[in-house]
Amino acid sequence: MTRDAALALDAADPLRELRAQFELPPGVIYLDGNSLGVLPRATAARVQQVVRQEWGEGLIRSWNSAGWMTLPQRLGDKIARLVGVGAGELVVADSTSINLFKVLSAALSIAQEASGTRRVILSERSNFPTDLYIAEALARERGFELVLADADELPARLDHRVAVLMLTHVNYRSGRMHDMAALTHAAHQAGALALWDLAHSAGAVPLDLHAARADFAIGCGYKYLNGGPGAPAFVWVHPEHAERFWQPLAGWMGHASPFEFTPGYRPAAGISRYLCGTPAVLSLAALECGVDTVLAAEPLGGMAALRAKSLALTRLFAARVQATCPELVLVSPEDDARRGSQVCFSHPELGYAVVQALIARGVIGDFRSPDILRFGFTPLYLRFVDAWDAAEHLREVMQREEWRRPEFNQRQAVT
């Protein structure tokens, strides 16, 4: 492989035109779209329009005339196309953490009704902390127990005590991807429900929640969906379960008829009962621009084409770094079928400083404590030559020991 070969791959890339949808700052190779996606070109003008016209001129009339009220459902229908569910099954609201609270609570209620003896929420020890914290708090409140296992032990830990298997599809740190269909099947065989967090999969890998027979799913708007910092999240409940329980945050937007202003709660039909309060219109408008950047791939092969390119990018980067930086240990799976859209390496001491030295060179990845150098690959805007050049920068940082500089060893709040 040579740099010219990478340029040739770009020239032949059927998705290359999608990069023009983004405002990428010059001189930056952005390998952190799994943490905060890049700003789409359409977003600033769209948010400006919502502010100036819909809010400024339309004022309160825009709840009807600009369709603000139905944004959670309309945008939900767009995301539904990316995760393999039908229109009307998914809504956009709140944050991933809050949506997890809603669906995990509903899952515990279903389990409790079916059997009083299933008292365990089973999850992975290396799951993203907010998922574990929410589960821990709910378990305390509801008299359940949160049990953590390593990924490979999960099937064996699915016994008659497990109420819910709660997993993140692609691990935020290692990039390891679970077999959603197989684990969901194992959970069901054991009599448990399966809840999936798609924070690192939605917009990054093809998903088919119905084919996998999942029960609940949540996901994040600001990672591969490019919705902007703190963008709203999404929530999906299998239509079989959607009306079985009230979710615990029974706000008026989840009411069957909020503008009757009646004192009693009557949940809305279907997934809309998973809404809580007033939609965050500005954030939803920005998120829609982000989701549209992913849907723009549909005529070019959609998620399958994005996945093929993502795998080729991560293969190229991992191979180059392994060939040139023997000090770094590849942590993400080499097997394509088990790797999400990121590549990670570990180093026992230098991880943080190496990432800082790379950022100073315009190659933006991130560090995940205690020892992980993490590089996310968003095929919508990354080129093969970016993967090549990023690996070259990393090689130079290691060979020239740039990580020694004191400013690269000063920890900031967000790593």
Ligand X SMILES: *Cc1c(COP(=O)(O)O)cnc(C)c1O
Q: Cα 215 to the chain's mean position, in Å?
A: 18
Cβ contacts of residue 329 below 8 Å, gap of 6+? Answer: 345, 346, 347
Q: Which residue type occupies 307?
A: R
Q: Which of 282, 307, 381, 384 is nearest to 21 (CA)?
A: 381
Q: Is 128 among the catalytic positions?
A: yes
Q: Is 197 a catalytic residue?
A: yes
The residue annotated as part of the active site, out of 102, 173, 223, 368, is: 223
131 binds ligand X (CB under 6 A): yes
Closest distance of CB 98 from ligand X, Å:
7
Q: Is 352 annotated as catalytic?
A: no
User: Applying CB under 6 A, which part among 74-82, 128-136, 274-282, 343-351 lies near ligand X?
Assistant: 128-136
Alpha-carbon distance 33 to 204, whole Å?
Answer: 10
Tell me which amino acid residue 136 is. Answer: E
The one-character DSSP state at 335 is S
Minimum Å distance from CB 340 to ligand X? Answer: 11
339 among known catalytic residues: no
Exposure b/e, 38-76, CB count within 10 A at least 16 = b: bbbebbeebbeebeeebbeebeeebbeebebbebbbebb
Joined together, the tokens standing for residue 128 give 């993203």
Matching residue, tokens 């400024």: 56
Binding span for ligand X by CB under 6 A among 83-91, 123-131, 184-192, 263-271: 123-131
φ, ψ of residue 97 to 5 degrees: the values are -60, -45
Q: Per rule CB under 6 A, is residue 322 in the interface with ligand X? A: no
Q: How many CB atoms within 10 Å of residue 120?
A: 22
Contact (CB, 8 A) for 244 and 100: no
Is 128 a binding residue for ligand X by CB under 6 A? The answer is yes
Cα(399)–Cα(407) distance, integer angstroms: 18
For the question of residue 223 being annotated catalytic, the response is yes
Q: Rule CB under 6 A: which of 177-236 touch ligand X?
A: 197, 199-200, 220, 233
The C-alpha atoms of residue 378 and residue 375 are separated, in whole angstroms, by 10
Of residues 7, 24, 47, 95, which one binds ligand X by CB under 6 A?
Answer: 95
- Cβ closer to ligand X: 62 or 342? 342
Nearer Cβ to ligand X (175/389): 175
Q: DSSP secondary structure string, 337-363?
A: GGB-SEEEEE-TTTHHHHHHHHHHTTE
Among 21, 96, 226, 332, indicate the residue that binds ligand X (CB under 6 A): 96
CB closer to ligand X, 127 vs 356: 127
Q: Is 49 in the site for ligand X (CB under 6 A)?
A: no
CB of 35 to ligand X, least distance (A): 8
Q: Which is nearer to ligand X, 294 or 321 (CB)?
A: 294
The smaller minimum CB distance to ligand X, of residues 25 and 129, is found at 129
Query: Segment contacting ligand X (CB under 6 A): 43-51, 58-66, 125-133, 206-214?
Result: 125-133
Among 210, 196, 209, CA closest to 107: 196
Q: From the candidates 128, 172, 216, 317, which is the catalytic residue?
A: 128
Q: Does 366 bind ligand X (CB under 6 A)?
A: no
Question: Which element (helix H / strand E) includes 399?
Answer: helix 384-399
**Residues in contact with 309: Cβ distance below 8 Å, sequence separation at least 6, in sequence order:** 13, 15, 379
Binding to ligand X by residue 384, rule CB under 6 A? no
**Of 172 and 381, which CB lies nearer to ligand X in the complex structure?**
172
**Quick check: 112 binds ligand X (CB under 6 A)?**
no
Does 168 sit near ligand X (CB under 6 A)? yes
Please state the closest distance from residue 217 (CB atom) to ligand X, in A.
Answer: 12
If the CB atoms of residues 130 and 322 are measured against ligand X, the closer one turns out to be 130
Q: Which region, judged by CB under 6 A, interacts with ligand X, from 94-102, 135-143, 240-248, 356-364? A: 94-102
- Closest to ligand X by CB, 200 or 361: 200
Residue whose tokens read 């378990």: 139
Query: 216-219 and 329-330 as β-strands: parallel, antiparallel, unpaired?
Result: unpaired
Q: Compute the least distance from the CB of residue 131 to ligand X, in Å.
A: 5
Q: Are the CB atoms for 255 and 276 separated by under 8 Å?
A: no
Q: Residue 271 in contact with residue 244, Cβ under 8 Å?
A: no
* In the complex, least distance from residue 169 CB atom to ligand X, rounded to whole angstroms: 9
Out of 176, 320, 374, 383, pick the active-site residue. Answer: 374
Count of residues binding ligand X (CB under 6 A)?
13
Catalytic residue numbers read 128, 197, 222-223, 374
Residues that bind ligand X (CB under 6 A): 95-97, 128, 130-131, 168, 172, 197, 199-200, 220, 233
